[in-house]
């Protein structure tokens, strides 16, 4: 049992290297102008070149234009796209590139287990379903949500569940024990300021996830 870890909202070279050194499986960059963690294509391309082998790079978008996504694909070369806005299944799949579909739990159309299960079924082509808390800022808010709402996620896709929303070293162990996601995603929970990661907090977060893995392995044994 090993929960994968994504560190999102990276803007600086030192932070990317700190995340990789700590054992992150995926590194996320935000291409949404409304975010304090937004990077431009040139900046992202520089960061992308620093990503070690076998560590995935994820490009996050919120209701982007097709031209903007294609430019990032061409010039940055992310391994995975993440759609965090109101994109339709067709909009996510038009690039023929692996993608995550994010759901902002607690929003107007995602308030019950049935709401979430039905939304997941619409995006059956996604590599994973990422569950974040609802906020006006499309992620990075530090807010959590009621994890019992994920109990209705179709069991055949459990390995594709990515848990986000208000995670930090102090609560990720309990969250991972409850949800048992394929991966966890953190941004503000490992920061000293918006867009500025703390190497120490990243290490503490990774250690807490590994503690959850150890407990889950012991329970399974």
Q: Which residues are catalytic?
A: 8, 132
Neighbours of 91 (CB within 10 A): 17
d(CA 16, CA 23): 11
d(CA 175, CA 164): 10
Q: How far is CA 44 from CA 5, 30, 38, 141, 176, in A?
A: 20, 9, 10, 22, 30
DSSP state of 94: T
80-83 vs 99-105, strand pairing mode = parallel
Closest CA to 163 of 181, 177, 149: 181
How many Cα atoms occupy the beta-carbon half-sphere of 100 within 13 Å? Answer: 34
- How far from chain centre, in Å, is Cα 189? 12
Beta-carbon contacts of 102 under 8 Å, excluding residues fewer than 6 positions away, are: 82, 83, 84, 129, 130, 131, 132, 139, 164
User: Which residues are 5's β-sheet partners?
Assistant: 184
What are φ and ψ of residue 41, in 5° steps? -65, -40
CB 160 within 8 A of CB 129: yes
């Amino acid at each position: 049992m090993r929960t994968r870890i994504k560190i999102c909202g990276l803007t600086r070279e030192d932070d990317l290297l700190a995340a990789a050194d700590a054992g992150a499986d995926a590194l996320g960059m935000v291409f949404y102008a409304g975010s304090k963690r937004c990077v431009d294509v040139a900046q992202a391309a520089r960061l992308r070149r620093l990503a070690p082998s076998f560590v995935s790079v994820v490009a996050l978008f919120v209701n982007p234009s097709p031209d903007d996504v294609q430019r990032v694909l061409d010039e940055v070369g992310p391994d995975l796209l993440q759609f965090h806005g109101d994109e339709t299944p067709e909009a996510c799949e038009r690039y023929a590139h692996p993608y995550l579909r994010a759901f902002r739990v607690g929003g107007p159309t995602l308030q019950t287990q049935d709401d979430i299960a039905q939304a997941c079924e619409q995006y059956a082509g996604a590599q994973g379903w990422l569950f974040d808390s609802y906020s006006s800022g499309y992620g990075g808010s530090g807010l959590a949500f009621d994890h019992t709402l994920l109990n209705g996620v179709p069991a055949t896709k459990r390995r594709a569940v990515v848990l986000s929303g208000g995670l930090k070293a102090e609560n990720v162990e309990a969250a991972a024990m409850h949800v048992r996601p394929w991966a966890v995603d953190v941004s503000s929970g490992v920061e000293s300021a918006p867009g500025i990661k703390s190497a120490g907090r990243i290490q503490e977060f990774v250690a807490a996830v590994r503690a959850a893995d150890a407990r889950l392995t012991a329970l399974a044994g």
